[in-house]
Amino acid sequence: MASFKGKFFALVMRNRHLLKGKLKPEVITQDSSIIDMRANIHKSAMKMARKTSGVNVAPADYTGLYAEWLTPDGAPDDTVILYFHGGGFVSGSAKEHRNIVSKFVKRVSVKALVFDYRLAPEHPFPAAMDDSVEIYKWLLEIGYAPERIFFAGDSAGAGLQFSCLLKLKELGIALPKAVIAMSPCVDMTLSGESHTTRLEDDPCTPIGSTETWLGYYVGDGDPKDPLMSPVFADLSGLPPMMIQVGDHETLLSDSLTLAKNAEKAGVDVTLHVWDEMFHCFPLLSPMFKEALHAMDEINDFIWKHIKLSRKV
């Protein structure tokens, strides 16, 4: 059973339209303005973009799209998390995620490189995947060993990192040490039953948003393309992965199917389905106990693999 605070946060999210002075929840269609949505997200994110004490922010010397380093005090020099931001493949940026990722890296005491990738509908698949591959290759070029690199991401970003891994595998490029996925979006066909069974429970996903935004991301492509929808891919050879997902989110089936397929392919999988929790709740740590405990699990997972890599 979820904690009182956990249920309270879910209630707030479910009724956030009332806080905006609207009587009905938001409905997303192809007539909804992407420009307005991005502007609203940016405005809200910048309001929260206070500097996190103990975390240094610096632009990266990357010549592609914008990227920035978030370095907590005392972080090891040889280890980095490549962080894939969420936003339904249509919104989000490194700067807009700075606040939540700063708190993330401060908890795990490992620096992160957070990067922008091209967004749909202007840039459908494979643009974001290609951008991800390029910045990973850049990390290798500037001296980071694959066994010292971790992938982490939330929502669409959590799904994008698996597309990146599969493309790297196809290209014969050494893969990172391990992967942390919070509520990954990995099935562009929306075939999972939770898209129906969790529709009324999910407090975070606006009505119609998944269908609309993934439609933009797919573009003219095939939603069953394994690089676009990793649930249809051969996952053998991928690094150890931790997947965290809430029982009350429409993307639950994506996580369950991905974990099942990865285990069948021989991948070391740690899956935790959190009772009554919602989309990407660990990023709200330490506001309620489930988020705090989920972040503790991520911390333990990362440091277990850091220690293993240093024995090599």
Active site residue 279: yes
In contact, 252 and 273? CB cutoff 8 Å:
yes
Tell which residue, 233, 218, 229, has the closest CA to residue 170: 233
Tell which residue, 189, 194, 233, has the closest CA to residue 214: 189
DSSP letter string, 113-125: EEE----TTTS-T
In contact, 194 and 250? CB cutoff 8 Å:
yes
- Separation between Cα atoms, residue 60 and residue 9, nearest integer Å: 34
Active-site option among 68, 96, 147, 249: 249
Active-site option among 91, 155, 163, 194: 155
Active-site option among 97, 248, 279, 305: 279
Active site residue 155: yes
Active site residue 249: yes
- Separation between Cα atoms, residue 209 and residue 254, nearest integer Å: 16
Within the chain, where are the H helices?
Answer: 4-14, 16-19, 34-47, 98-108, 127-141, 156-171, 194-197, 209-218, 252-264, 289-309
Q: Which residues are catalytic?
A: 155, 249, 279
